[in-house]
Structure 1
Amino acid sequence: MQYRAAIGGGLVVSGVLLGVLQVLQYLQFPAAATTLLFNTVPFILVSAAIVFTGVTIVRDDAYGEYATLIISWSVGSAVAFVAVFTLITGISQQAGLTLLFGAADAGTAGGLAGLLIGLYDAQSRQTLATVERSAEKLKGLNKYGKVLNESSNVESVSALCIEVLEFVLDSDGAVFVHGDGDSWRVVDTTLPDVDTDGALGRAAREASDREKLQTLTDGEGFDGIRNGEPGSTLAVPISYGADTVVLFAVYYDLAEPDTENVDLFEILAAHAATALSSVDTAARQADEPEPL
């Protein structure tokens, strides 16, 4: 990962040099317009593609972990193409400069082919890693879901939800509030300076008016929960008897929550809703007078 800038920069330099070689080749061996169109221009475009790939690797953090893999594919493919070209032209009577430019063409084509394979390989590994992470998070959620169903009160449900958000869903902070739509109390929080009389209260009221178990990613007071810091805030309202609880999750490094985050957040909310329903039912039964 630490070599990403060097690898991307190397690709940019290589692409520029290969493009210059193509121009020199055309100037050294002037030919008809068709040769320029079908021989020189395509290889200049290939060189430009290599430069673009290098810039992308430098600028896109997604390729940081796989930069070495991508360049390995590119170098290996370029060497293979040049080796095949050398074997084919080993007994050729062509001039040395012609063979040099031919080897450059072969290396350029091979380098781009390797880059394409490397990028595909990197994306495949990224997809697999994402699926594995999602599976691990879902597995953790299901384990906590069983524990949530054993909760005896709203405080224990809140504590477990906060724990799941922090340690399973990798949130940077979480809040669990309980109220009747007008007044709210903070049951648990890992965020500093949150107050139901301020942004948190406004956000809770807005969320409670929305459809239950549906995630909100923006609304009044959401930025205030993060104290104006960049990032994103998720909220989901959950029924609790005649009242409502709202679960908030804060991500400072996530500008826009993706589908995976929202889906897992709603799965947690569904587990919490089941647990709260059981808690409410048990409380109602405890309040009922015993039959004479």
Structure 2
Amino acid sequence: MHRRTLAGSGLAAAGLVLAGIQFIHAIQQTDIPVAIAVDATPFVAMGLALSYAGYWLARDDTFEETAARVVVWGAGATVAFAAVAALVLFSQQVTTGSLDRAAYLTVDILTVGALTGVLVGLYDARSRHRLRALETERDRVAAFGRKAADVNNYGRAIATAGSDDAIAAYITEAISSLTGIDETAVLRVRDDEAELLSNTVRTAGAERVGKLARAVRDEPRGDVVAHGDAPPVDLGETVRDVLTAVVTERDGTTTVVVAADTGPASTDEQDRKLLELVVAHATVRLDELTAQPAQ
């Protein structure tokens, strides 16, 4: 059972018990309906509010990691208010020599303390959750900034590459750096042939990689396509996702990138957009090299 479910159920039960005790105390002290309503309503409402807070805690997965803190806050405030009740009763005993309504006063103060502590705990838990979310977003933005800088560096390197093989090597390195995928092949496909310009794929042989490249050669140029675990050609059971991209297409010859992801984390849309920038740099440079006259 989830921690938040246990904590929320406990708080809800405690709230119902306190609400019931408050109602019983009200009818024990008087039989006048108006007096019962005035005495019982605020404290019964507090007990029911505590139950609702427990229900909310159990239902909201935001509190899964901080449910214990809410309970600690509630318990701590209850103990603190119990100490206040003890001081009040001691003062009453000293000044009047009587402890009339001691039980009623104690339960009233405990009800207020429990509700106060739980509400403060919920606020503290949500504040910590928001702080973690902000820290996660900060880290994500920082990581994206580093990757964008890498894309710029790879773009400059590709722009000065002197051969197709060098460009293929930069693409392979860029994919590994940006996504953590270390099994990448860059192929030149024509008719039924596939020439490997760069290949670090270990989960499948060159023949299957070439077959996949031929199967995706009609994809829109420049788009990085994620095929998941069901690509047109199977590259092995350990492959969780396959990324492909058509870099250039000229005179019946197509340059294709195939990346086999075998890691635990999959690429997201932002990673694919960054890879498309790398592919765009490669497209421009390959077209330039193709257009250059033979030396």
Fold match by TM threshold 0.5? yes
Match of 1:217 in 2: 226
Match of 1:286 in 2: 294
Match of 2:56 in 1: 49
Which segment drifts farther, 107-116 or 254-263?
254-263
Which segment drifts farther, 70-79 or 159-168?
70-79
CA distance in 1, matches of 2:291, 2:84: 82
Match of 2:245 in 1: 236
Does residue 100 (structure 1) correspond to residue 110 (structure 2)? The answer is yes
Does residue 24 (structure 1) correspond to residue 31 (structure 2)? The answer is no
Deviations 1:181-214 (A, max 9, x none): 532122222221433533x234212321121001
Match of 2:136 in 1: 126
Mind listing any 5+ residue stretches in structure 1 that lack a counterpart? 59-66, 288-292
Amino acid corresponding to residue 228 of structure 1 in structure 2: E
Does residue 206 (structure 1) correspond to residue 215 (structure 2)? The answer is yes
Match of 1:115 in 2: 125
Query: Contact 1:176/1:189 (CA < 8 Å) preserved in 2?
Result: yes
CA distance in 2, matches of 1:174, 1:146: 21
Instruction: After TM superposition, give the deviation of residue 159 of structure 1 in Å.
Output: 0.9
Amino acid corresponding to residue 130 of structure 1 in structure 2: R
Deviations 1:110-167 (A, max 9, x none): 1111222222221111111111111100101101110111111111111111111112
CA distance in 1, matches of 2:8, 2:75: 15
Instruction: Report the aligned-residue RMSD.
Output: 3.6
Query: 5 Å matches for 1:157-176?
Result: 157-176=167-186
C-alpha distance 84-274 of structure 1, shift in aligned 2 (>3 A): farther
Does residue 270 (structure 1) correspond to residue 263 (structure 2)? The answer is no
Instruction: After TM superposition, give the deviation of residue 43 of structure 1 in Å.
Output: 2.7
Does residue 190 (structure 1) correspond to residue 228 (structure 2)? The answer is no
CA distance in 2, matches of 1:251, 1:188: 16
Which segment drifts farther, 34-43 or 106-115?
34-43
Instruction: After TM superposition, give the deviation of residue 248 of structure 1 in Å.
Output: 2.0
Amino acid corresponding to residue 229 of structure 1 in structure 2: T
SS in structure 2 of the partner of residue 211 of structure 1 = coil
Alignment identity in percent? 15
CA distance in 2, matches of 1:106, 1:257: 45
2:152 to 138, 142, 145: 142
Instruction: After TM superposition, give the deviation of residue 176 of structure 1 in Å.
Output: 1.2
Query: Contact 2:78/2:110 (CA < 8 Å) preserved in 1?
Result: no
Query: 5 Å matches for 1:51-90?
Result: 51-53=58-60
TM-score, with structure 2 as normaliser: 0.74
Query: Contact 2:57/2:67 (CA < 8 Å) preserved in 1?
Result: no
Match of 2:31 in 1: none
Query: Contact 2:224/2:245 (CA < 8 Å) preserved in 1?
Result: yes
TM-score, with structure 1 as normaliser: 0.75
Deviations 1:264-289 (A, max 9, x none): 1111111111221222223xx125xx
Query: Contact 1:18/1:104 (CA < 8 Å) preserved in 2?
Result: no
C-alpha distance 123-277 of structure 1, shift in aligned 2 (>3 A): same
CA distance in 1, matches of 2:155, 2:269: 21
Query: Contact 1:81/1:110 (CA < 8 Å) preserved in 2?
Result: no
CA distance in 1, matches of 2:135, 2:240: 27
Aligned residues: 265
CA distance in 1, matches of 2:232, 2:63: 34
Larger radius of gyration: 2
